[in-house]
Structure formats: C-alpha cells, structure tokens
C-alpha cells in the first residue's frame, strides 16, 4: 500500500482518519440509496453540496435539500443494489479531500417476485464512476461535490 500523501499540517494518523471517513461516505451513500432512506443523505452531503447524477450530468443538483428531494421523487418500486469498488481518497488539506469510486448498479422493479435466489435483475445494468470532493465540517467529513458518469451498460 503506498504511503499516504503528505499534508505538512497533518499527522499520518490524521490523514488516515480523514481517508477512512471519506471512504465510509462512499459506502454510506450506496447503503442509503439502496435502503431508500433518503433523509439520511443529509448526513453525508454538505449543506451546500453539488450532485451531478450520472444520468443527468449537465443538470447538477445544488444543496443537500434539493438532493434529498430529488431522491424522494423516485418511484418507491425501484429496487437498487449499488456495488462500490476502487475507492480512492486523497487528503489535500486538513479540511479538504478528493477521490473517486466505481459503481456497478443492479436494478429491478419491486413487482419482481422474491425467490430463494432473490429478485430477477433488470436486463440493463450500469457501470459508472463518481468523482468526489470532500469537506470537513463542524460535524465531520461530508461530500461537497459528487459528479457521476456512466461508463458502460448491459
């Protein structure tokens, strides 16, 4: 594992803690969206965050409240499972970091019957990525900006 980036005003332990907190934000995002627990997005996005969805990168959402409202407008019958991998975080300063991750998104409709093997996934699945900027707030690290891009689909 490569040594963490050196930030002169931070100890190695502080850098590792920041990286870990930002890494957790990537995972938490997927868990929150898949559970449709959208109000919890306020726990991971900064109040003034910008979110450019992979399906509408030209139309970014601004502000945590608008991000939550957009997710809450989605059909509740849409079942998703985000698999997140290749998470990279670079601490830039004591209050900022940047990073990226890859996403494999499986979807189906809730009307699909549950079987011992689970629900039948929709035929079209997506592989994409997020480019993130993080900010340390009074309540901890948050996503300041998340820009998504779809790379492949089935």
Question: What ranges do the domains of the chain cover?
Answer: 12-153
Long-range contacts from 40-48, C-beta under 8 angstroms, 24+ separation? 41/67, 41/68, 41/71, 42/68, 44/142, 44/143, 45/142, 45/143, 45/146, 46/135, 46/137, 46/142, 46/143, 46/144, 48/144
**Of 112, 101, 103, the residue nearest 82 (C-alpha):** 103
Q: Provide the residue-wise pLDDT of the chain in tens; the chain has 154 residues.
A: 455 557 889 999 999 999 999 999 999 999 999 999 999 999 999 999 999 999 899 999 999 999 999 999 999 999 999 999 999 999 999 999 999 999 999 999 999 999 999 999 999 999 999 999 999 999 999 999 999 999 999 9
Token digits of residue 91:
């601490």
CATH number of 12-153: 3.10.450.50
Please tell me whether the overall predicted TM-score, pTM, comes out greater than 0.85 for this model. Answer: yes
């Amino acid at each position: 594992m490569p040594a963490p980036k050196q930030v002169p005003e931070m100890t190695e332990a502080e850098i590792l803690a920041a990286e870990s907190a930002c890494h957790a934000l990537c995972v938490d995002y997927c868990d929150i969206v898949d559970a449709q627990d959208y109000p919890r997005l306020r726990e991971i996005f900064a109040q003034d965050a910008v979110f450019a969805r992979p399906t509408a990168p030209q139309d970014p959402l601004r502000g945590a409240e608008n991000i939550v409202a957009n997710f809450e407008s989605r059909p509740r019958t849409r079942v998703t499972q985000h698999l997140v991998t290749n998470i990279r975080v670079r601490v830039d300063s004591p209050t900022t970091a940047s990073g990226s991750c890859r996403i494999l998104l499986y979807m189906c409709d809730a009307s699909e019957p549950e079987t011992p093997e689970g629900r039948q996934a929709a035929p079209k699945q997506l592989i994409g990525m997020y480019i993130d900027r993080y900010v340390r707030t009074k309540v901890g690290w948050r996503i300041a900006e998340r820009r998504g891009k779809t790379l492949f689909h089935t």
